């Protein structure tokens, strides 16, 4: 996000100041962060994920909010992407609707898989829909494990406990900010996994598939620039990301004894050797 802001002339310490709060996926910390930022009287709130957008909306109806959420209209953040109204705008990604596609891609790489785990964040507004889309995409004969974790600190012991019990896993897109950490984790645990961000695959995950997040960050930075220039938030409709990105880690596949099908490799935007 800092890079995207710099691309729009918004340089931390020179043209803007940034107050950064990390909710670590925990509802109480997310609410606290939103309230503290509003109390600091910031000019624009930039938030990531549905729970953070909802918390920011509860904390202020005055400060403009630029949000990245999985399904802005579907979860009630706004009534309409074209006419969001209120004080919130931003990017509505495809992440939630792509949950099933991640399962399909993982099964394509693991034709002999018999058990998959789907890992979601307990209490996150979209976790039920994530589980349902993942379930629907699972082919007959493949058992499913629906796994809820309390936060990032809970993921490592949870995944370690799944070793030997599952053939692969996918994770909810909400964990995107920890992609590098999680990619390295599943590689160390030797768990074939499909994440949401290319950084997940670059760090050691087998594959990653999602909307092209960098595109969304650029648009969010543009919205921040517009709001700081005085453009009313009501004139900035939500945008729907349309481009997707598939990254495959050939090195991890070799370590796990997985042969990635040529048809899958042909569809990849990036193959990490």
User: What's the pLDDT band for 62 if we cut at 50, 70, 90?
Assistant: very high
Q: What is the pLDDT of residue 22?
A: 87
Per-residue DSSP letters for the chain? -HHHHHHTT--BTTTB-------TT-HHHHHHHHHHHHHTT-S-EEEESHHHHHHHHHH-SSS-EEEEES-TTTTTS-S-SS---TTEEEEE-STTTTHHHHHHHHHHH-TT--EEEEEEETT-TTHHHHHHHHHHHSPTT-EEEEEEESSHHHHHHHHHHHTTT-SEEEE-GGGGGGHHHHHHHHHHHT--EEESSHHHHHTT-SEEEEE-HHHHHHHHHHHHHHHHTT--GGGS--EE---EEEEEEHHHHHHTT----HHHHHH-SEEE-
User: What's the pLDDT band for 75 if we cut at 50, 70, 90?
Assistant: low
125/45: higher pLDDT:
45
Say whether domain 99-211+245-272 belongs to CATH 3.40.50.2300.
Answer: yes
Q: What is the pLDDT of residue 219?
A: 92
Note whether 2-92+212-242 and 99-211+245-272 share their fold: yes
Q: pLDDT tens digits for 26-39? A: 788 899 999 999 99
Q: Give yes or no for residue 176 having a pLDDT over 90.
A: no
User: What's the pLDDT band for 82 if we cut at 50, 70, 90?
Assistant: confident
The residue ranges of every structural domain in the chain are 2-92+212-242, 99-211+245-272
Range from 49-58, 71-80, 84-93 carrying the lowest mean pLDDT = 71-80
Q: pLDDT tens digits for 184-200? A: 999 999 999 999 888 99
Q: What is the pLDDT of residue 5?
A: 96
Supply the CATH classification number for the domain 2-92+212-242.
Answer: 3.40.50.2300
Q: Please give the average per-residue pLDDT across 134-156, as a whole number.
A: 93
């Amino acid at each position: 996000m800092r890079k995207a802001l710099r691309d729009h002339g918004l340089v931390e310490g020179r043209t803007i100041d940034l107050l950064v709060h990390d909710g670590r996926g925990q509802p109480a910390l997310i609410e606290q962060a939103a309230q503290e930022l509003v109390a600091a009287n910031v000019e624009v709130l930039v938030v990531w994920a549905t729970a953070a957008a909802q918390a920011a909306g509860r904390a202020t109806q005055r400060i403009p909010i630029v949000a990245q959420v999985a399904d802005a209209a579907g979860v009630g953040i706004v009534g309409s992407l074209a006419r969001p109204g209120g004080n919130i705008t931003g990017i509505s990604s495809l992440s939630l609707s792509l949950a099933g596609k991640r399962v399909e891609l993982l099964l394509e790489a693991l034709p002999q898989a018999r058990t998959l785990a789907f890992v979601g964040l307990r209490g996150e507004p979209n976790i039920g829909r994530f589980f349902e889309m993942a379930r629907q995409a699972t082919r007959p004969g493949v058992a499913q494990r629906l796994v809820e974790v309390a936060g990032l600190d809970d993921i490592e012991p949870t995944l370690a406990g799944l070793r030997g019990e599952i053939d692969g896993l996918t994770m909810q897109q909400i964990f995107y900010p920890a992609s590098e950490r999680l990619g390295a984790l599943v590689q160390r645990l030797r768990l074939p996994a499909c994440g949401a961000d290319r950084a997940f695959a670059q760090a050691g995950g087998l594959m990653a598939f999602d909307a092209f997040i960098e595109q969304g960050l650029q648009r969010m930075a543009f919205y921040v620039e517009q709001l700081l220039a005085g453009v009313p938030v009501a004139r900035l409709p939500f945008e729907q990301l349309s481009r997707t990105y598939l990254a495959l880690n050939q090195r991890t596949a070799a370590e796990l004894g997985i042969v990635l099908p040529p048809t899958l490799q042909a569809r990849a935007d990036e193959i990490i050797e």
